[in-house]
Amino acid sequence: MVKGFTVIMPTYNQASFIRRAINSLLKQTYSNWELIIINDGCTDTTEEFISDFLKDPKVIYIKNKLNTGLGNAVNQALEMANYDYIAYLPSDDYYDDFHLETLKQKLDKSDKITLAFSGVRYDESDSTGILVYRKSIGVRPGYNLSMVQVAHRKTNDRWIEREECVSEDLFFTFWRKLTDKGIFVSTDRVTCEWTNHPDQRHKIIGEMYGGGINIDNITMYNIQFVCVLQTIKRLMNLKYMNLIAKRYLAVKIP
């Protein structure tokens, strides 16, 4: 097995953020990696925005006709992974320059270490629209490990897919599988950022329909309604990102 990282990037309608994510990978101080992008049925301009990156031989691009859910998308990439370490880079999050290097240093210390995780920056902005940024050296209080924080050894374990009904969060379910393989260690350094934004709701809603979590129509309606109320005032925070995206589309050479 090749030494290095397979970086898995599942994406669904994140055109405004995905270039930032890919550029953060290109800037890594550790450069022995491949990127597998799973376009899980995007209906926006994602493919056009990343067309120049797709010429890179280190980038593998898979396009699903339909949105199949997070579990299936990640499993597609795991089946194709060529490297011995697996990292995750959701298309709306990003790495600091030395993120992969610090994770690798931990994983290389012992074969008993199955998973390493970094600290993470995140925002806890509420409906007021005021940005409130936090940092966590380990797991965010009240949450499981975020995908962007994690790197682990390649195993035969797979994520829960749509045909399986589970009550636990998908992240927790997969991380729990890996605890049987070895120990988890922290880098004790904040080297990535988890991005909170209104369009992230698409991932959550899509996951509920297609990623292994059952939910009735009434509950789904309530979730969508509450999400709209809580995020209307925060839409202005995306104005700058959207302007960048539109400007790129306007000047991009075919």
Residue range 63-75: mean pLDDT, rounded: 89
Q: Where are the beta strands (DSSP E) in the chain?
A: 2-11, 33-40, 59-64, 83-88, 94-95, 113-123, 133-136, 150-153, 183-193
Number of neighbouring beta carbons within 10 Å of residue 110: 11
pLDDT (0 to 100) of residue 216: 36
What are the extents of the domains in the chain?
2-224
φ and ψ of 186, to 5 deg? -100, 145
CATH of domain 2-224: 3.90.550.10
Q: Which of 72, 20, 78 is nearest to 49 (CA)?
A: 20
Distance between CA atoms of residues 245 and 144, nearest Å: 31
Q: Which has more confidence, 149 or 140?
A: 149
φ and ψ of 233, to 5 deg? -70, -20
The 10s digit of each residue's pLDDT in 11-42 is 999 898 999 999 999 999 999 999 999 999 99
pLDDT (0 to 100) of residue 1: 74
DSSP structure string for 27-95 = T-S---EEEEEEEES--SSHHHHTTTGGGSTTEEEEEESS---HHHHHHHHHHH--EEEEEE--TT-EE
User: What pTM was computed for the model?
Assistant: 0.75
Distance between CA atoms of residues 99 and 172, nearest Å: 22
Distance between CA atoms of residues 80 and 56, nearest Å: 17
How much helix, strand and coil, in percent to the nearest 5, is found in the chain? Answer: 40, 25, 35
Residue range 116-145: mean pLDDT, rounded: 77
Distance between CA atoms of residues 229 and 168, nearest Å: 26
Distance between CA atoms of residues 95 and 53, nearest Å: 17
The 10s digit of each residue's pLDDT in 187-236 is 999 999 988 755 553 344 344 433 333 333 333 333 333 333 333 334 33
* Percentage of the chain modeled with pLDDT above 90: 52
